[in-house]
Amino acid sequence: MAQLKYKDSIYPVTTGSSVLETLLEHGQAIPNNCRAGACHSCLMQATSGNVPDAAQKGLKDSHKARDFFLACVCKPEEDMEVCLPDIEQLKFPAKVSQITKLSNDVVELKIKTQQPVDYFAGQFVTLWRDDELGRNYSLASLPGVDDELIFHIRLIPNGQFTSWVANELKVGDEIFVQEPVGDCFYTQGNPEQNLLLIGTGTGLAPLFGIFRDAIQSGHSGEIHLFHGGLNPSGLYLHDMLSAFAEQHSNFYYHPCVLKAEEGMAKNIVEGDLSKIVSQLIDKPAGWKSYLCGDPEIVKKLRKQIFMAGSNMNDIYSDPFVYT
């Protein structure tokens, strides 16, 4: 059985257990969220012992070189000594410049950093309230166009982070940002490829940056954006997206709801999002897809698009997993 050294204690790692599970079981406070290797909240550093490859999947080369790893998916194969990285090296301060309501339960948060941030539209960061509470949010902003980092945050009743955003955070306050990560972004080099963008709820946020990046880069293939909500009020930015579609001949906006309402806009379609997608885009082979938002819907769509002929390497996704 491998042994795990953390601070001054040594813990046995039960076969199949992760570093995160082991440390939490022993009452250690390790920041974490998705527990699936997606959100990077549980980033740790090994000071001795080999880090399994799976625990470094998706990390930057510079982080791999410094033996950073994701504790939730790190199942030690040999004795390891680990520590929390000096998070101050990875975080930078920003000032809240604007908080705007986009719908009943979605706010747009704009923050300004002192130094320019290097990122691709569609990546995500961890926003930290303090040393202990951090959550992932996708970037809706476009580098070089938007001066600030922009987020669409859905307010979850009694949610720790989002209640703080809703009730306490004010313009001028300081917030900490952990560097952008993720591979859900537009890549140049294939401007004629059709793009399929599907988001539920605030899953629109990364897509909002991705399609603007594509259009700005001169993408000539079709760009189809499906935005799913429970009802029409969930389709925030509806008017802006409808207008954008009128202005760009290769951009198609498909707002969809599970439950229609009388008097809703004419372009909104009622029904199951995955069925609406498969009816309109029945042969996605050769397309590039971006799927973001509700984890179950993202998983279902990933499988559906793959089964319909798309190459798995052309399917990018950010499921908004939560604890």
Ligand X SMILES: Cc1cc2nc3c(=O)[nH]c(=O)nc-3n(C[C@H](O)[C@H](O)[C@H](O)COP(=O)(O)OP(=O)(O)OC[C@H]3O[C@@H](n4cnc5c(N)ncnc54)[C@H](O)[C@@H]3O)c2cc1C
Contact between 34 and ligand X by CB under 6 A: the answer reads yes
Residue 300 CB-density burial (10 A; 0-12 exposed, 13-18 middle, 19+ buried): middle
Cα–Cα separations (whole angstroms), residue 195 to 137, 176, 198, 245: 23, 33, 10, 14
Contact between 153 and ligand X by CB under 6 A: the answer reads yes
Token pair for 308? 């319909």
Cα–Cα separations (whole angstroms), residue 304 to 39, 183, 274, 295: 24, 21, 8, 14
Q: Sketch the per residue contact string, 47 through 76, with ligand X: x for CB under 6 A, - otherwise.
A: ------------------------------
Would the CA dihedral through 73, 198, 150, 209 be positive or negative?
positive
Residue nearest to ligand X (CB): 159
Give the span between the Cα atoms of 181 and 263, in whole angstroms: 41
Residue type, 73: V
Contact between 156 and ligand X by CB under 6 A: the answer reads yes
> Could you say which of 13, 23, 38, 109 contacts ligand X (CB under 6 A)?
38
Token pair for 44? 């740790």
> Could you say which of 205, 235, 268, 291 contacts ligand X (CB under 6 A)?
205
Shortest distance, position 235 Cβ to ligand X, whole Å: 15
Contact between 137 and ligand X by CB under 6 A: the answer reads yes
Contact between 321 and ligand X by CB under 6 A: the answer reads yes
Residue 2 vs 225, nearer CB to ligand X:
225
Contact between 202 and ligand X by CB under 6 A: the answer reads yes
Size of the site for ligand X (CB under 6 A): 25
User: Half-sphere exposure (CA, 13 Å, Cβ side) for 96?
Assistant: 19
Contact between 159 and ligand X by CB under 6 A: the answer reads yes
Residue 160 vs 190, nearer CB to ligand X:
160
- Nearest residue to 295 via CA among 318, 269, 268: 318
Q: Which segment (53-61, 145-153, 185-193, 298-306) binds ligand X by CB under 6 A? A: 145-153
Shortest distance, position 30 Cβ to ligand X, whole Å: 16
Which residue intervals of the chain are DSSP H helices? 19-25, 61-65, 87-90, 160-167, 204-216, 238-247, 273-280, 295-307
Token pair for 181? 């990560």
Contact between 39 and ligand X by CB under 6 A: the answer reads yes
Shortest distance, position 160 Cβ to ligand X, whole Å: 4
> Could you say which of 22, 103, 123, 138 contacts ligand X (CB under 6 A)?
138
Contact between 161 and ligand X by CB under 6 A: the answer reads yes
Contact between 166 and ligand X by CB under 6 A: the answer reads no
> Could you say which of 9, 160, 216, 279 contacts ligand X (CB under 6 A)?
160
Token pair for 229? 């909500």
Residue 158 vs 167, nearer CB to ligand X:
158
Cα–Cα separations (whole angstroms), residue 118 to 48, 63, 151, 242, 277: 31, 16, 16, 30, 33
Using DSSP's 3-state secondary structure scheme, residue 59 falls into: coil
Q: Which segment (150-158, 231-239, 245-253, 299-307) binds ligand X by CB under 6 A? A: 150-158
Cβ atoms of residues 80 and 48 within 8 Å: yes
Using DSSP's 3-state secondary structure scheme, residue 232 falls into: helix
Contact between 136 and ligand X by CB under 6 A: the answer reads yes
Shortest distance, position 159 Cβ to ligand X, whole Å: 2
Contact between 152 and ligand X by CB under 6 A: the answer reads yes
Contact between 318 and ligand X by CB under 6 A: the answer reads yes
Where does this chain bind ligand X (CB under 6 A)? 34, 38-39, 124, 135-138, 151-154, 156, 158-162, 202, 205, 318, 320-323
